[in-house]
Amino acid sequence: MLDRALFTDFDRQTAVPRGLPSIAYTSDEFLGLENQTLFSSNWVFAGFAHEMVDAGDVHPVEVAGLPLLLLRDEKHQVAAFHNVCRHRNLKLVDAPGNCGKLIRCPYHSWSYDLCGALRNAPYFGGAMRELPPDFRCQDNGLVPVYCEVWHDWIFVNLAAEPMPFEDFIAPLKKMLGDTRVEDYVPRTSIDFGEVACNWKLLMENFIEPYHVQFVHRTTTRQPLEDHRTLIEGHCLGSMVELDAAQQATADLTALGVTSHYLTLFPGFILGTYQPDQMGVYLHQPVDAGHTLQRRVIYTHRDADYSEAQIQQLHDLWYSVHLEDHEMCLRLQQGRRSPLAQDGGLLSPRWENSVRRFQELVADAVRPALMQ
């Protein structure tokens, strides 16, 4: 049973801070607490709007361990609902597709329109269109979930009274400065499938620059000293900025450019690579030791990339992530050691943004821990 003593070492104020204890990465019970707390009370990135083009397009997703569905309605807006029929609670949508004008339960044919309203409950009261006394269709539609779309990115929030979405994205917008995300279009995606590590390790790897010159020595020529870490509220990450002369000779195919590696807690990741590239990741925890990962690569709408160049970018980022995945897998494996129980050590200079991410995790989970 997890209790508040879990964070004893983590909470000690020392010059060199410790990380989260190993159980935070290896325990399904801890992931369950994260689902009850941080994934249920924050805006969570759930999907890409460009993959839902037409009215009736529907995608099943899982957030905080719960089945949800994303739906493009007749007004071309994206909405989110709990992905369960109100009759026997069957999961309604189990694969992306287009439902036409109605989402129909395959079990007993209860049907819902694109606004989530129940339109048909055949034979529920006896005859084909008969309903039981006091049963009203308007009381038994799909249950909506707060949903917002920012550019191409769909966010959902399960809280009863969520943080205003503009407040959620404000620190990221500040860090983006003059970069206008609406000027970027999706060009290709990479589906990595299931990565054998905890979701937090993928987040932490992106947030800190400490590993870059060692792990990615073949794909970047940026020394560590060119980087700086970023902490702006719940926007965490790092960046490297080149001067005009450096930027003029930068090689985008080797990632040696002005770059911003930005996250929004708990799980949104956005990277910008000047002058005209952007990447966004979608993570879904499967269990404590496995995470589904995808990346969509964007270029500026005015950028002139051939299909061959886009394929080159795809292949470059695929190889970069395989390098990261090897480290994250080995981090996950290392957390089986008793030496990992005290959380290891964090650089106060290069991993302070990781430490802040871990503090946000710990603070979210604490109220759910046993006394």
Indicate whether 175 and 133 sit together in one domain. Answer: no
**What domain range includes position 100?**
48-150
Task: Enter the pTM of the model.
Answer: 0.94
Looking up residue 101, the CATH number of its domain turns out to be 2.102.10.10
Residue 155 falls inside a structural domain: no
Indicate whether 200 and 307 sit together in one domain. Answer: yes
Indicate whether 31 and 60 sit together in one domain. Answer: no
Residue 158 falls inside a structural domain: no
Q: How many domains does the chain have?
A: 2
Can you name the residues that pair with 41 across neighbouring β-strands? none
pLDDT of 294-336, one tens digit each? 999 999 999 999 999 999 999 999 999 999 999 999 999 999 9
The rounded percent of the chain whose pLDDT value lies above 70 is 95
Length of the chain equals 371
* Residue 256: per-residue pLDDT: 65
User: Which of 126, 150, 174 marks a domain boundary?
Assistant: 150
Indicate whether 37 and 183 sit together in one domain. Answer: yes
Indicate whether 172 and 297 sit together in one domain. Answer: yes
* Residue 264: per-residue pLDDT: 98
pLDDT of 340-350, one tens digit each? 999 999 999 99
Residue 310 falls inside a structural domain: yes
* Residue 217: per-residue pLDDT: 80
Q: How far apart are CA 370 and CA 91, in angstroms?
A: 32
Indicate whether 240 and 266 sit together in one domain. Answer: yes
Residue 161 falls inside a structural domain: no
Residue 191 has pLDDT above 70, yes or no: yes
* Residue 243: per-residue pLDDT: 66
pLDDT-derived band at 223 (thresholds 50, 70, 90) equals confident
The rounded percent of the chain whose pLDDT value lies above 90 is 88
Peptide bond into 338 cis (omega under 30): no
What's the rounded mean pLDDT across residues 23-39?
Answer: 97
Indicate whether 180 and 84 sit together in one domain. Answer: no
pLDDT-derived band at 185 (thresholds 50, 70, 90) equals very high
